[in-house]
Amino acid sequence: MSANTITSVTCIPMRLPFHHWSPAPLFAGRPRDKLDSALVRVQTEDGTVAWGESYCVEPRALPAIFETLIAPLACGKNADDDTLLPTMQRVLHNLGRSGPVVHALAGLDIALWDLRAKRAGQPLYALLGGKQRDSVRVYASLLQYYGNAERLHAVTTQALAEGYEEIKLHERTADAVGATRAATGPGIPIMVDTNCAWLPGQAEDEIAAMRAHDPFWIEEPLWPPEDAEALARLKAVCGVPVAVGENASSAYALHRMIATEATDYVQPSVIKLGLTAAWEISRACAGTAVACAPQVAFFGPGFLASLHLIAAQAHEVSLERLYVELAHVPYGATVPIRRGRLAVPDTPGLGADPETALAEGRYSE
């Protein structure tokens, strides 16, 4: 057994209580006051510990997947083996090409990148070819306020006062975009995420009504989100840049959109697809009209992995920061947002570990 043999893989649900200065938004028809993901802890024979993060909306489900499927396949294997993740993906493929098993593998993938960078004594961006910038712009990504103009104006004004210079909405109406534009004034980018609001043929008029307020992009306008042909048709006529990718069912679907330039921005989520897949998507954008702008509505190791990816890729984009007030802010002290920017950590690996907060029991509420 070598020093780099994986000895344990553990999934730790991370629940972050939050509020967004309004009644709790609805998720699956129920009020939502906690943001869930899962920490992935990997340890090797020599005692090195690395961290990843998996998408997790049901904290009881993912630990069972790690215990019964992921850990048995990973433990005893060499963490440097480039075939480890591809082999696991093929072994488990009949359990779904998207969903919790794929999300679990994504968290393990991030942890393996963190492990490799720590063992090399380098920041993760160095393994991606080196950083292109020392800091990254961060945009305030507001949760849904259901078109409430007063709240949209107030929260947008608050975010701008804190130093953010870009805003994202999770809204579906021109009036909501107009209320936000009234708060920002001209020149501030406003992204609009509609969360797959419309069927093909329905989006054109809705986006046309928003154009007067100068949206920076319209995100996930169509259902289903993988319909590259319908997206390309919309992009050709809507007059506003289009972004898509968070909810696409696989990395393959995103590569297809890049190859056909069906979208202006592609948005892989590292905690759903893994850093390896997201970095391959970023590299596939080179030489095309498509920019990689990862979706980052999470706060743990996946947030830091996305930061390193954006720092390393040639095309500069902004990092998403879900704009809520958290009971506990992972990495808030070690990787703080200042004046709407985030410095890229230069310490080995991702740049910070969650162990202190775990020891204090702050991620288990």
DSSP track, 160-215: HHTT---EEE----HHHHHHHHHHH-TTS-EEEE-SS-B-TTTHHHHHHHHGGG--
pLDDT digits 0-9 by tens, 13-40: 998 999 999 998 888 788 889 999 999 9
Distance CA 144, CA 20 (A): 9
pLDDT on residue 328: 86
Averaged confidence pLDDT in the chain: 94
pTM of the prediction?
Answer: 0.96
Task: Single out the residue of 254, 294, 271 nearest to residue 102, CA to CA.
Answer: 271
pLDDT digits 0-9 by tens, 44-94: 999 999 999 999 988 888 999 999 999 999 999 999 999 999 999 999 999
Question: Does residue 365 have a pLDDT over 60?
Answer: no
- Does 224 sit behind a cis peptide bond, omega within 30 degrees of 0 on the bond before it? yes
Sketch the domain layout of the chain as residue ranges: 5-121, 126-351
The CATH architecture of the domain made up of 126-351 is Alpha-Beta Barrel (3.20)
- Max mean pLDDT among 87-96, 125-134, 243-252, 333-342 falls in 125-134
Look at the domain 5-121 and name its fold: Enolase-like; domain 1 (3.30.390)
SS3 10: strand
Which element (helix H / strand E) includes 89?
Answer: helix 84-91
Distance CA 320, CA 206 (A): 24
SS3 208: helix
pLDDT digits 0-9 by tens, 229-271: 999 999 999 999 999 999 877 899 999 999 999 999 999 999 9
